[in-house]
A = this chain, B = another copy of it.
Amino acid sequence: MKKSLLAASVAALLLSQLGMAATQLDSEKYPIQIEKVTDGLSHPWGMAVMPDGGLLVTERSGNLRIISTSGQVSDPIKGLPAVRAYGQGGLLDVQLDPDFASNQWVYFSFSEPLNDGKESSTAVARAKLNGDSLSELEIIFRANPKLDSPYHFGSRLVFDRQGNLFITLGDRGSRRQDAQTLDTHHGKVVRISKNGDIPKDNPYINQDNALDEIWSLGHRNMQGAALHPQTGELWTHEHGPQGGDEINIARATKNYGWPVITYGEEYGGGKIGTTSQDGLEQPLYYWVPSIAPSGMMFYSGKLFDNWQGNLLVGSLKFSQLVRLELDGDKVIHEERMDIGQRVRDVEQGPDGTLYLLTDQPDGQLLKLTPAK
């Protein structure tokens, strides 16, 4: 007992010497040590774990940086396109190619300025990452139509098992009805190949008057998505209006109902549609009041072995990490852990370490491990 206390003291001392603040959080299954790996990130939004365990991190203001395993933050990676960092837009998610180690492709979503910056639209680009710069940049997807709105860009990136890319897209706020029509990308999950082609098994590829990229519809603003480790299906969450944040399994051609059905209401009060209707999917789970979810993953590491298969979700509004236990497609338990900062993204390191990005002007990368 004395020995482990001593070890903990030494560890705390080492951490303080490294400039890392460590705090402890009691959770249902573990006491958790939270270390600040770095701060000074400008509204970090998305991250991807690199083969060496370092992290590729976006800042919404338009920079992409590498944070090494020792916590060193690189200068901005060169070669990014212009982004319109306005409202909820900017440089958003980032994802590595499943074959990144051999091909160096990275994919990122952003709000692309159009018409002299008066409009913007969610776009996805890919480029090859070599050292501190990108090359061979190509825009592989542009959401249509363009719009002058600062709201609801989505946009998480998830590869499916066939190597195609899912992109989650918001309804852009001012045009919520677009989520119900197949002639816009707003409020949709879309699916493209790595180079922007349309996968030949996309569900609307042979339907006239429907955009070929569309996978599912009736979404509001999805800032979390992850592939289920067993089923390979895409799970998403989305922000409800005032209440009614949802978790869904985004299945081809399914309509998740926004804004016809929702468990939320207008900001300040007022009914929006109803809560259920034939032909529209009910959520798998929903929150009232809204937690403002961002970031989502299925935990699969050994470090928090009692969390395996659990769904982890960040909460902006309540500054929490939310843990959901599942039995198939049923949520059987929810835990809320107070992080003390708005949680924007959640990822898992190679050893099972959990990383969180916090949504602040002076945003942080936090590292969570079971406390010894």
Contacts and interface: CB of A to CB of B under 8 A. Distances in A.
Chain A, interface size category, equals: 20 to 34
A288 B332 contact: no
A243 interface: yes
Contacts of A263: 333
Contact of A330 (B28, B287, B330, B335): B330
A275 B307 CA distance: 11
A273 to B, nearest CB: 14
A286 B334 CA distance: 9
- Residue picked from A28, A284, A306, A327, most chain B C-beta under 10 Å: A327
Contacts of A28: 243, 288
Interface in A237-266: 243, 263
Contacts of A332: 282-286, 331
Nearest to A331: B331
A335 B28 CA distance: 21
A287 B335 CA distance: 9
Contact of A288 (B283, B286, B335): B335
A1 to B, nearest CB: 14
Contact of A286 (B275, B282, B329, B333): B333
A327 B334 CA distance: 17
A282 B333 contact: no
Nearest to A282: B327
Interface in A309-347: 327, 329-335
A330 B284 CA distance: 8
Contact of A285 (B283, B286, B329, B333): B333
A330 B331 contact: yes
A282 to B, nearest CB: 5
Contacts of A306: 275
A135 B285 CA distance: 50
A147 to B, nearest CB: 32
**Residue among A282, A286, A288, A332 facing the most chain B CB atoms (10 A cut-off):** A332
A243 B332 CA distance: 14
Interface string A277-315: 000001111111000000000000000001000000000
Contacts of A329: 330
A39 B121 CA distance: 62
Nearest to A285: B332
Given A282-B327, A327-B282, A333 B287 contact: yes
21 contacts: A28-B243, A28-B288, A263-B333, A275-B306, A282-B332, A283-B332, A284-B330, A284-B332, A285-B330, A285-B331, A285-B332, A285-B333, A286-B332, A287-B333, A288-B333, A288-B335, A330-B330, A330-B331, A331-B331, A331-B332, A334-B334
Interface of A: 28, 243, 263, 275, 282-288, 306, 327, 329-335
Given A283-B332, A284-B330, A330-B330, 15 more contacts: A28-B288, A282-B327, A284-B327, A284-B332, A285-B330, A285-B331, A285-B333, A286-B332, A286-B333, A287-B333, A288-B333, A329-B330, A330-B331, A331-B331, A334-B334
